[in-house]
Structure 1
């Protein structure tokens, strides 16, 4: 295999892992203290999926269903998600509440401000355009695989 692909995969993973860590350590906002990174990720996934089962969340977060159940319980208590009954009584879907939607907007703004500052200070405009082009392609390829 092309060594550039290996390097690209390694770099992508490192940016995800260490980028998340840096954001968590660097962003000083009350919401980052009130919600764990795993809870924030779950809220983002529910937002992207609109309605989602706990099983799907376990797959997307790559954790056991018991870990998901604990996160769901805490987010239900904070009234940022709610359970939606479907025609199949066994299936329960989760969705954001109005409070959860407002929370996501605020979290997104905090993250956008932080990453935007990092990028504007360290990355040229044409490099940002290249980044967008590549990530749009990757998203399209991944979505085609039914993820």
Structure 2
């Protein structure tokens, strides 16, 4: 196997682990104090993908359905989501964002973007950011294609 690919995977893993840890510890936003990272991730998933079934959210977060049930219950109690019956199958339930849920996602995103922008300001050139975007768009496209085959 190409050693560069192995290094790329290891670097990606490091960035994900250390980057997530650093962001969680340093982003100072009220929503990050009030809600867990897992709850914010649920909100972001629903925001990005539209109404989702709890099982799909569990799969995307890599956790058991019971963990998602607890998260959804708390988010619903806080008025950030609502659970509705699916139009095509009245037995199925979907998670939808409320306006307050949308506000939390927006506040969270703005805080993270501002932190990353400050962090990268003196270290990443515009051309490097463009290269990063090109590569990650390509990787996302490949992963989506592979996901559709499985």
Give the structure-1-normalised TM-score. 0.95
Residue ranges of structure 1 left out of the alignment (5+ in a row): none
The aligned residue for residue 72 of structure 2 is 72
Cα shift at 1:146: 3.6
The aligned residue for residue 39 of structure 2 is 39
Q: Which runs of 4+ in 1 moved over 6 A?
A: none
Tell me how many residue pairs correspond in the alignment. 147
Cα shift at 1:48: 1.2
Q: Determine the C-alpha separation between the residues in 2 that align with 1:62 and 1:76.
A: 21
- Within the alignment, does 1:134 sit opposite 2:135 as a pair? yes
Residue ranges of structure 2 left out of the alignment (5+ in a row): none
Q: Which has the higher contact order (CA 8 A, sep 6+)?
A: 2
Give the structure-2-normalised TM-score. 0.93
Residues 94-144 of structure 1 show CA distances to partners (whole Å, capped at 9, x for unaligned) of 011111111111111111111111122211111111111101111111222
1:1-147 mapped onto 2 (5 Å cutoff)? 1-86=1-86, 87-146=88-147
Q: Determine the C-alpha separation between the residues in 1 that align with 2:147 and 2:7.
A: 25
